[in-house]
Amino acid sequence: MNSRIYQFSADDYRGEKVELSKYIGKVALIVNTASECGFTSQYKGLQELYDKYNEQGLEILAFPCNQFKKQEKGSNSEIKQFCDLHFNIKFDLFSKVDVNGPDALPLFNFLKEQAPGILGSQSIKWNFTKFLVNKEGEVVKRFATITKPHQLENDIEYLL
């Protein structure tokens, strides 16, 4: 079980603790997000993936992060309001976290270890880095910021 995401928990945008074991048997796409980023429009694509595949077992976990050029300045409730107003997201939104450095959420340290970036780099380089997790909770693949959500469809369908 230690090589799976189910050992972790995180606070949702309301500050309520969520055990990631709630996603057992689901395919999960875990993304670090930001509201003031050139890639913020990817929220739309993420919602489209969720609409298309949620009934088949896809869950999307969005983790706002302010570590990249301070592009997520708002409070958790402001971030939720922004997402609802502009993208009407239905997938799970978590509290703002660090994804790199000494205060990184342990889940993200795990994700980076399981699926390093280019040349084995562990750090996350920018907002909207995506980690795809299979139904067993194992990290299958890491996708760069520039990878648009719809480009993940084949990988998602394979895992579903």
Q: Are 39 and 8 in contact (CB under 8 A)?
A: no
Catalytic residue (choose from 5, 37, 115, 133):
37
Which residues lie across from 94 on neighbouring strands? 12
How far, in Å, CA of 99 to CA of 60, rounded? 17
Q: Are 82 and 46 in contact (CB under 8 A)?
A: no
Place of tokens 């750090």: 123
How far, in Å, CA of 49 to CA of 46, rounded? 5
Going from the C-alpha of 60 to that of each of 70, 118, 135, the distances in angstroms are 23, 23, 13
Place of tokens 């760069």: 144
CA dihedral 151, 21, 94, 109 (to 10 degrees): -70
Active-site annotation holds for 37: yes
Catalytic residue ranges = 37
